[in-house]
Amino acid sequence: METCLRLLLLLGVATAVATAQAQAQAQTQSQSQAGYEDAVTTAVDIFNQESGLPQAYRLLEAEPQSEWNPSSQAAQPLKFSVKETVCPIAQKGNLKQCDFKENGLVKDCSGLFTAGKKPPVTAVKCEDTSQEPELVTRRKFWKKVLNGALKIAPFLLG
């Protein structure tokens, strides 16, 4: 009977320790995610300030970074997408209240976040993804080659 009680007590302690570790890990992960979202929000603000574009852009999607550490002093990557809104850039206020512009431009962005610097986000770069890729035609190239070959053919054959 005493052995069963010890075993039961040991099982209870092990369960309590495992639960505490899981809660600590979940809290750390939650803080990390909140820190990443804050960093991306700051990056979007910096993009809007420095873009020189007439319309403000708002966060469309943020790619989660698995190795994100909000307290790291090293530069950490940010990846996110923004979309053009109906609000002019000059209008100050909460961008979350601005609706996305119908057929507004979408930009894929990347940046670096360093917790110890002011401002903490540096090197935000956004590229347009809304444009259709340009088709590269080689028709003109081959036409020139054929015309050139026809011009020199009489000299080669004659």
Domains with residue ranges and CATH for the chain: 2-132 (3.10.450.10)
Query: Given this model, what pLDDT does residue 55 score?
Result: 93
pLDDT tens for each residue of 24-83? 343 333 334 448 888 899 889 889 988 899 999 999 999 888 788 877 888 888 999 999
**Half-sphere exposure in the Cβ direction for 85 (13 Å, CA):** 21
Query: Given this model, what pLDDT does residue 84 score?
Result: 93
Asked if residue 19 has pLDDT above 60, the reply is no
Nearest to 121 by CA among 79, 89, 83: 79
Query: Given this model, what pLDDT does residue 145 score?
Result: 67
* Distance separating alpha carbons of residues 124 and 42, to the nearest angstrom: 10
Asked if residue 86 has pLDDT above 60, the reply is yes
More confident residue, 155 or 99: 99
pLDDT level of residue 2 (50, 70, 90 thresholds): low
Nearest to 40 by CA among 76, 15, 93: 76
More confident residue, 152 or 82: 82
pLDDT tens for each residue of 100-151? 999 999 999 998 888 777 767 667 899 988 665 545 455 666 666 677 767 7
Query: Given this model, what pLDDT does residue 32 score?
Result: 41
DSSP 43-103: HHHHHHHHS--SEEEEEEEE---TT--TT-SS-EEEEEEEEEEEEETT--S-GGGSPBPTT
